């Protein structure tokens, strides 16, 4: 299988630093910390208080996909995790495994490409485990509006060494409608591509976007963010 990008299958690697925040490619030694972080954020953000997400619903998929994913984390200089995001990468036509969205929503990549009338996509990535700890932002007196920067920092880490042209990548994810609207506001051109599935007390929709469209949008509408995402020089992986 072609190597799409550095994945999180070894020790953590420091990628970049901006002010008091550090960007890391998280390694396998962080899996327990990663699971606990995501579980805590999701239980606070995604449930109505009547139940708790079982740890196994976070840890089991982590065990299955961590070695096929690029997992990034933003840490405060103290070492505490503030945000995480990971991409599970797949070459179109690779049948050795299915992305989470293919399984949960019964949406094969080929069908998605056909329905979206896309013929230049070579790679698909399933965004997963996006989490920003609002309590940590308050603890370190980071303005909540800066959460957009945390997302940009994570996107920068996830996409900084993807080979080839951005137009050849299709991003996929499942998200509730409010999160979908937030991502649209910050410039990620998600489209809802199917009916929702109800879990963790919310309806979550399958969504897709072309990475090339996001890159073009940032360049035209947010040149400072574009420069940070694609032109900033940082530590090599």
Q: Considering only the C-alpha atoms of the chain, give the largest distance between any 2 of them, rounded to a whole number of Å.
A: 47
Each residue's pLDDT tens digit, 220-232: 999 999 999 998 8
Each residue's pLDDT tens digit, 148-188: 899 999 999 999 878 889 999 999 999 999 989 989 988 99
The rounded distance, in Å, linking the Cα atoms of 39 and 146 is 22
Each residue's pLDDT tens digit, 8-50: 777 999 999 998 999 999 999 999 999 999 999 988 876 566 6
Beta-carbon contacts of 186 under 8 Å, excluding residues fewer than 6 positions away, are 148, 151
pLDDT of residue 4: 46
The angle subtended at Cα 30 by Cα 28 and Cα 34, nearest 5°, is 115
Cβ atoms 151, 127 nearer than 8 A: no
pLDDT of residue 49: 65
The pTM of the full predicted model, rounded to 2 decimals, is: 0.89
The rounded distance, in Å, linking the Cα atoms of 128 and 187 is 18
pLDDT of residue 162: 85
pLDDT of residue 200: 82
């Amino acid at each position: 299988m072609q190597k799409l990008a550095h994945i999180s299958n070894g020790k953590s690697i420091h990628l970049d630093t901006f002010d008091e925040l550090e960007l890391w490619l998280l390694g396998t030694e962080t899996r327990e910390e990663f699971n606990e972080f995501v579980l805590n954020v999701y239980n606070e953000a995604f449930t109505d208080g009547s139940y708790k997400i079982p740890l196994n619903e976070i840890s089991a998929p982590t065990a299955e996909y961590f070695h096929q994913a690029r997992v990034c984390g933003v840490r405060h200089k103290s070492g505490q995790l503030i945000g995480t995001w990971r991409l599970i990468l797949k070459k179109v036509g690779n049948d050795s495994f299915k992305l989470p969205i293919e399984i949960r929503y019964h949406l094969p990549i080929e069908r998605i490409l056909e329905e979206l009338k896309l013929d230049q996509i070579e790679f698909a990535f399933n965004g997963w485990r996006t989490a920003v700890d609002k309590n940590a932002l308050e603890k370190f007196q980071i303005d909540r509006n800066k959460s957009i920067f945390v997302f940009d920092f994570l996107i920068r880490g996830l996409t900084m060494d993807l080979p080839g042209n951005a137009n050849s990548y299709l991003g996929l994810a499942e998200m509730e409608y409010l999160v979908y609207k937030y991502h649209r506001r910050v410039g990620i051109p998600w489209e809802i591509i199917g009916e929702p599935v109800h879990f963790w007390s919310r309806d979550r929709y399958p969504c897709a976007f072309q990475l090339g469209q996001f890159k073009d949008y940032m360049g035209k509408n947010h040149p400072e963010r574009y420069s940070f995402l694609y032109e900033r020089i940082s530590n090599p992986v």
